[in-house]
A and B are shown apart, each in its own frame.
Chain A
Amino acid sequence: MQLASRAPGAFRIGRTFVSPGFDLLLIGGGLTYPLALWLVWDVSSAATSIALAIPIVALLVNQAHFAASTVRLYTKPGAFESLPFLSMGLPLVTLVVVTAFVLFAGSWGRHLWALSLTWSPYHYAAQAFGLSSMYCIRSGCPLSSGQRRFLRWACLMPFFKGFLGGTGAGYGLGWIVPAADVVASPGAVLAFEAASRLLDVLIFAMPIALFVHLARRARRARAAGPGAEDGGRSAMPLVSLLVVLSNGMWFVVFDFYNAFVWATVFHGIQYLAIVGIFYVRDRAGTSPRPHGALAQIAVFYAVCVALGYALFQCWPYGYVLAGFGTVESSLMVIAAINIHHFVVDGFIWRIRRDPNYRTVMSTAG
């Protein structure tokens, strides 16, 4: 396993966890680009492109990734002590909330469902921000608070695009304002279209602008010499830029539904890759034996797939057994698993003042 790319200059891959190829393609989302180009050329919908493979892809990637946050929570050293509510209280709270929403699905259910789908693009944005800033820290490219804020806003642009894009289906803006109201007002339609086009530009322009700015800073620092202020600073790693652009790509290239499907698949791949790395590092310190690491990842992944199946495919039938319909049971369970995952992720990936920092800064692959 390779440590890092230390090529001098403004364009560096960054300090990778596994290898440049692995980090760029899976964590950076590099796989996104050829597939997006092919899908645009082929003009296929997500449903027709993967058609019969959807259940398998969903099980192995999507459901496994949702389960992975729970597995990570319960295998993270010290999680029970440092996160008592999250690890011990939240399961019961989730169970009670799901049951209540299944019970009153006809009246309240739409809000839990809309919340989960509105939150999803925000969650992807947050993950893009977390990964991008993590690679910056890891690659010796500290961000000022202003630059961090700019990066966060850059990562949020696809969320805003998704927020607008979901209007027709009743998510995002459509959850608050019915699409019929938007369509009824020519001014609102114009503003909607303009905002949508502006976001398309900002999704790419903002991260590229930050990348160029940090590359210039690094060049100036190098020219000034090691003793000067900023002398030790590197440019923004390429993998950091790629993470942000990949997340935005789907929301620009595709409509809401297709963007949602593809972003979910690639978000899941990205998540499983990084969670596997952290799991192994937590267990084996900074110098695991390669075969031991692969075996650990295989076991971790198998548990995630099994738990994903139990959560998504089996749990709803518990409510069906209790006399509820399959649709409301399934939709409420899916929505609750989504929200549980978003909440758990907000805590288990913290870097500052957390053992995660050691993993982020660790040198071995």
Chain B
Amino acid sequence: MGAGIGYRLCFWLGMLGWAGLVLGGTVSEWIASGAPPSLEQHPLQRALADTLESDVARRIAEHRAYAAIQPRDAKAFVKLGTALARAGDDAEAIRAFETAISLPPVPPGAHSKLAALYARSGRVDEARDQARIAIEGGAAMNPRLLRKLGLSGPRR
């Protein structure tokens, strides 16, 4: 009988806690966005849709969380690196892209983006190495960057 009461107490605590989070969350999101929670499935897309373009710090924090929970997913680091590069944080962006290219299979474009970031940071030799790998992989490269690095594009 005692176990029965304990279970019932657990049940109602769980239900009340869950219902509180669901109701509170739904109402707050509805007030914030003017609509009930959307059907968007991708957590990162949902986060970005909920965040103002100008709120760069929060957008990067969401990207960081996504990469932290999926630390062996190269695409997560490519997305993080792209967001950081867009925000002008080249050092952190390079770190994110370096992580991305260490995680096979490397997404197409990661090497070329890293090459561009290296070049922008004055690390020309590393930029050239990455550009060569990108060209070998058939990735699209900025012709101006290639000229700057003294390389030619992929042969067609």
Contact = CB atoms under 8 A, between A and B. Distances in A.
Interface of A: 54-56, 58-59, 84-85, 87-95, 105-107, 109-110, 113, 168-170, 174-175, 178-180, 183, 309-310, 313-321, 325-328, 330-331, 334
26 contacts: A55-B40, A58-B39, A58-B41, A91-B11, A91-B15, A92-B11, A105-B65, A106-B65, A109-B65, A168-B105, A179-B72, A313-B38, A314-B22, A315-B21, A317-B26, A318-B24, A318-B25, A319-B25, A320-B29, A325-B47, A325-B58, A326-B47, A327-B62, A327-B65, A327-B69, A331-B43
Contacts, number: 142
A88 B10 contact: yes
Given A313-B37, A326-B62, A321 B71 contact: no
A155 B52 CA distance: 47
Given A84-B7, A169-B72, A326-B62, A315 B46 contact: no
Given A58-B41, A110-B70, A180 B25 contact: no
A92 to B, nearest CB: 3
A325 B68 CA distance: 13
A91 B11 CA distance: 7
A80 B20 CA distance: 23
A175 B69 CA distance: 12
B73 interface: yes
A263 to B, nearest CB: 16
Nearest to A47: B42
Contacts of A89: 7, 10-11
Contacts of B73: 169-170
A340 B91 CA distance: 41
A179 B103 contact: yes
A236 B73 CA distance: 42
Interface of B: 3-4, 7-8, 10-11, 13-15, 17-18, 20-22, 24-26, 28-29, 36-41, 43-44, 46-47, 50-51, 58, 61-62, 65-66, 68-73, 102-105
B55 to A, nearest CB: 12
Which of B15, B51, B104 has the most C-beta atoms of chain A within 10 angstroms of its own C-beta?
A: B104
A183 B104 contact: yes
Nearest to B21: A318
Top 7 closest A-B pairs, CB basis?
Answer: A318-B21, A170-B72, A317-B25, A91-B14, A92-B14, A318-B25, A55-B39
Given A109-B65, A325-B61, 4 more contacts: A55-B41, A88-B11, A91-B14, A170-B70
B97 to A, nearest CB: 15
Nearest to A108: B69
B42 to A, nearest CB: 9
Contacts of A95: 14, 17-18, 21
A327 B37 contact: no
Contact of B25 (A55, A113, A316): A316
A321 B31 CA distance: 11
B7 A320 contact: no
Contact of A56 (B39, B47, B66): B39
Contact of A106 (B14, B68, B103): B68
Contacts of B40: 55
B37 A326 contact: no
A178 B104 CA distance: 9
Contacts of A174: 72
